[in-house]
């Protein structure tokens, strides 16, 4: 209760001091949310109404409980496999329910916390860098089909270049509401495009999403077996452990959510919404980086987004699909690119002020004054240690990108780390043998 009260106070205070930043930051993750949510709706793998309503509720509770902009975003592996294999709504829901059960049980048993304690920090940062660069590649795929074709007045490279120029032209003004301006402009463009092309604009009415969706055993086996299993490790690494570390990096003056609380939260979300056709969701380090990049500094940002989602779901529901499909990719792509760069930039402090270099006391303190007073490195890294930590991070990130699989990147990082420790052990044995050599020579002389 004390943490909840502290989070609410921080949310209210931050919203009062910087309302525009919180509102703009709340839109930072739209580049990930809108494309996947729209595609899954079009393929009838999810219910848009249920997704908007339930994810809105999840946004509100996560913002209120954690007090930092912890996002609610699609499970990417589930979404991609559902689209590729054309899974039905019940099969997609089965995947989300299965992942929710596994992640919640592992979190309650303390296994996720143990994994977080054991995984070396360079590997965690490697996963973050890989996820960030993956977002940049996704942005590139959005922008690659665009051109300077003036006939496509609302979605071309002119708008992408303009958005990029504004994004980084105002990069020294952290309170500039870039995401808010882009969202309003993109919404206007999408509405004009729908109206002029003869499409149907959203219909206002009361949309009721509570239609139970109960997968059969066969549907559960298909959905969880094809999409859910592939998502479990990605959720644990990028939506739980990486979010904890990223929160500490981006907002060191706020208590970071525990990996256990994040894992239980993921389980609760999917064991609630997926029974009614809501999109399988998780928390994500990319979304947190995006929210922070565009101005969010508290849970008030995602609470605001949650209210907007709930209102849109109840008032417009499935009729929003055509509008979401027309949102300009030129603007979405730049937002996704900015989020990727923000996430990848957490690698900056790997060899300077990363948590594993700090004393145990400084790592647990939460206030700005106490942290600044004791933020001294526990040890000074040698040049070789700096190089090896950087390589460990980059091997993890590069293999994650090359294989398009976070688990493969994780395994590569762990294997690289194990090889380094093996070399350390061999060097220690060599030094020990060298230190015993004079004693052996002396013993031999005495024996004579």
Beta bridge partners of 377: 358
Q: Is the dihedral of CA 133, 135, 139, 140 positive or negative?
A: positive
Judge contact between 372 and 378, C-beta under 8 A: no
Question: According to the model, what pLDDT value does residue 440 have?
Answer: 60
Return mean pLDDT, the chain.
87
Question: According to the model, what pLDDT value does residue 68 have?
Answer: 94
Q: Provide the residue ranges of all domains of the chain, joining segments of one domain with +.
A: 1-347
Spell out the alpha helix ranges (H) of 67-152. Answer: 76-84, 89-108, 111-118, 121-144
Question: What is the spatial distance between Cα 448 and Cα 444, in angstroms, rounded to a whole number?
Answer: 7
CA atoms within 13 A on the CB side of 84: 9
Instruction: Identify the DSSP state of 45.
Output: S
Mean pLDDT (whole number) for 429-447: 66
Per residue in 381-392, pLDDT (tens digit) is 899 999 999 999
Q: Is the dihedral of CA 160, 189, 326, 317 positive or negative?
A: positive
Q: What is the pTM of this model?
A: 0.84
Question: What is the spatial distance between Cα 95 and Cα 265, in angstroms, rounded to a whole number?
Answer: 17
Question: According to the model, what pLDDT value does residue 364 have?
Answer: 46
Per residue in 112-156, pLDDT (tens digit) is 999 999 999 999 999 989 988 988 998 898 898 888 876 688 899
How many residues are present in the chain? 448
Per residue in 46-100, pLDDT (tens digit) is 999 999 999 999 999 999 999 999 999 999 889 988 988 889 999 999 999 999 9
Mean pLDDT (whole number) for 396-421: 92
Per residue in 265-313, pLDDT (tens digit) is 999 999 999 999 999 999 988 899 999 999 999 999 999 999 999 999 9
Question: What is the spatial distance between Cα 413 and Cα 300, in angstroms, rounded to a whole number?
Answer: 36
Percent of the chain with pLDDT over 70: 91
Is the pLDDT higher at 219 or at 151?
A: 219
Spell out the alpha helix ranges (H) of 294-405. Answer: 300-315, 321-325, 329-344, 360-364, 368-374, 383-403
Question: pLDDT tier at 447 (50, 70, 90 boundaries)?
Answer: low
Structure tokens at 425: 């052990």
The answer to whether residue 360 scores a pLDDT higher than 60 is: no
Question: What is the spatial distance between Cα 299 and Cα 72, in angstroms, rounded to a whole number?
Answer: 12
Structure tokens at 439: 């004693």
Question: What is the spatial distance between Cα 384 and Cα 202, in angstroms, rounded to a whole number?
Answer: 60
CA torsion 237-241-243-248 (nearest 10°) is -150
Among 128-137, 161-170, 223-232, 430-439, the minimum mean pLDDT is found in 430-439
Question: What is the spatial distance between Cα 78 and Cα 97, in angstroms, rounded to a whole number?
Answer: 11
Beta bridge partners of 358: 377
Q: How big, in percent rounded to 5, are the helix, strand and coil portions of the chain? A: 75, 0, 25
Question: What is the spatial distance between Cα 301 and Cα 291, in angstroms, rounded to a whole number?
Answer: 8
Residue whose C-alpha is closest to residue 91's, from 230, 227, 267, 268: 227
Question: What is the spatial distance between Cα 231 and Cα 17, in angstroms, rounded to a whole number?
Answer: 38
CA angle 429, 431, 436 (to 5 degrees): 95
Judge contact between 242 and 285, C-beta under 8 A: yes
Residue with tokens 């919203």: 15
Residue with tokens 């994994």: 115
Mean pLDDT (whole number) for 399-403: 92
Judge contact between 286 and 68, C-beta under 8 A: no
Structure tokens at 70: 């912890």
Question: What is the spatial distance between Cα 99 and Cα 69, in angstroms, rounded to a whole number?
Answer: 23
Sorted by sequence, the CB contacts under 8 Å of residue 351 that are 6+ apart come out as 357, 381, 385, 386, 389, 390
Judge contact between 85 and 222, C-beta under 8 A: no
Question: According to the model, what pLDDT value does residue 437 have?
Answer: 60
Per residue in 182-213, pLDDT (tens digit) is 989 999 999 998 888 877 778 887 777 667 88
Q: What count of other Cβ atoms lies within 10 Å of the Cβ of residue 382?
A: 9
DSSP E strands, 279-407: 281-282
The answer to whether residue 377 scores a pLDDT higher than 80 is: no
Question: What is the spatial distance between Cα 272 and Cα 308, in angstroms, rounded to a whole number?
Answer: 20
Instruction: Identify the DSSP state of 353.
Output: T
Q: What is the DSSP string of 321-351?
A: HHHHHTS-HHHHHHHHHHHHHHHHGGGGGTT
- Helix 178-196 / helix 157-169 crossing angle, nearest 10 deg: 160
């Amino acid at each position: 209760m004390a943490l909840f009260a502290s989070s609410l106070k921080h949310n209210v205070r931050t919203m009062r001091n910087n309302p525009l930043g919180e509102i703009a930051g709340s839109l930072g993750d739209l580049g990930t949310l809108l494309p996947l949510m729209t595609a899954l709706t079009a393929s009838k793998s999810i219910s848009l109404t249920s997704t908007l309503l339930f994810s809105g509720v999840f946004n509100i509770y996560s913002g209120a409980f954690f007090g930092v902009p912890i996002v609610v975003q699609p499970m990417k592996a589930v979404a991609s496999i559902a689209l590729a294999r054309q899974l039905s709504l019940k099969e997609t829901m089965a995947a989300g329910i299965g992942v929710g059960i596994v992640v919640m049980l592992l979190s309650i048993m303390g296994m996720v916390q143990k994994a977080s304690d054991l995984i070396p920090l360079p590997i965690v940062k490697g996963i973050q860098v890989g996820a960030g660069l993956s977002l940049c590649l996704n942005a590139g795929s959005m922008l690659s089909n665009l051109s300077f074709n003036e006939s496509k007045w609302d979605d071309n490279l002119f708008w992408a270049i303009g958005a990029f120029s504004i994004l980084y032209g105002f990069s020294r003004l952290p309170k500039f509401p870039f995401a808010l301006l882009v969202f309003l402009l993109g919404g206007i463009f999408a509405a004009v495009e729908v109206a002029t092309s003869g499409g149907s604009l959203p219909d206002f009415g009361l949309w009721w999403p509570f239609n139970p969706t109960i997968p059969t055993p066969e549907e559960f086996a298909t959905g969880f077996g094809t999409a859910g299993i592939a998502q479990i490790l990605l959720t644990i690494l990028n939506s739980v452990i990486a979010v904890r570390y990223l929160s500490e990096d981006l907002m060191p003056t706020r208590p970071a959510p525990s990996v256990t609380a994040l894992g239980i939260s993921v389980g609760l979300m999917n064991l609630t919404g997926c029974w009614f056709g809501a999109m399988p969701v998780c928390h994500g380090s990319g979304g947190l980086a995006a929210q922070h990049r565009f101005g969010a500094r508290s849970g008030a940002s995602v609470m605001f987004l949650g209210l907007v989602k709930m209102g849109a779901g109840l008032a417009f529901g499935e009729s929003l699909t055509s509008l979401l499909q027309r949102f300009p990719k030129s603007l979405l792509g730049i937002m996704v690119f900015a989020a990727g760069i923000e996430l990848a930039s957490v690698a900056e402090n790997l060899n300077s002020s990363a948590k594993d270099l700090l004393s145990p006391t400084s790592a647990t303190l939460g206030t700005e004054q106490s942290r600044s007073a004791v933020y001294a490195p526990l040890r000074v890294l040698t040049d070789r240690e700096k190089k090896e930590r950087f390589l460990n991070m980059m091997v993890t990130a590069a293999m994650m990108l090359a294989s398009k699989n976070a688990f493969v990147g994780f395994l590569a990082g762990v294997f690289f780390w194990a090889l380094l420790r093996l070399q350390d052990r061999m060097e220690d044995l060599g030094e020990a043998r060298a230190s015993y050599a004079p004693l052996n020579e002396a013993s031999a002389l005495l024996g004579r």
